[in-house]
Amino acid sequence: IKQFISDRIGVEVDELTDEVDIVGDLGCCGDDLDELIQEYAKQFNVEIADYLWYFHSEDEGHVNNIGRLFFRTPHDRVEHIAITPKLLFECANKGKWDIDYPNHKIPKFRLDGVVNIIFILLIVFIWIAKCSA
């Protein structure tokens, strides 16, 4: 497991303790984490249907998410759960993603995303208006 993590995110194996948080400590998040989890599931034959990304990492591009200033993202609505080499090892031995996530409610419709779209459309409209002038 540690060699797998090392190969995917470029961290030396000896830097990987059992409890290191791949997201919080090593900075593997967003799409990079998604790719890591997908490859992990394939390589170690782990069923990840119950994997809930937002407990572990923010969205890709979360820094540019203007909408999160007004509405909480899924990640902002739950408490962070670390993905560690120990957790990946345990799940690989069980053959399934085995985390008992706390009860929570995530809206089906993301208002932070709507704000982002409106912001982008506003910028485009302003740019078109300036070019037309």
Q: State pLDDT tens for residues 36-82.
A: 999 999 999 999 999 998 889 877 655 566 666 676 666 677 789 99
Q: Is the pLDDT of residue 117 over 80?
A: no
The residue assigned the tokens 């890709």 is 60
Residue 71 is encoded by which pair of tokens? Answer: 């509405």
133 SS3 class: coil
The contacts found for 63-66 with CB under 8 angstroms, 24 or more apart, are 65/112, 65/116, 66/115, 66/116, 66/119
The pLDDT, as a whole number, for residue 99 is 93
Average pLDDT, integer, range 25-32: 89
The overall average pLDDT reported for the chain is: 86
Total count of residues recorded for the chain:
133
- Backbone φ and ψ of 80, nearest 5°: -60, 135
Q: Model pTM? A: 0.75
47 SS3 class: strand
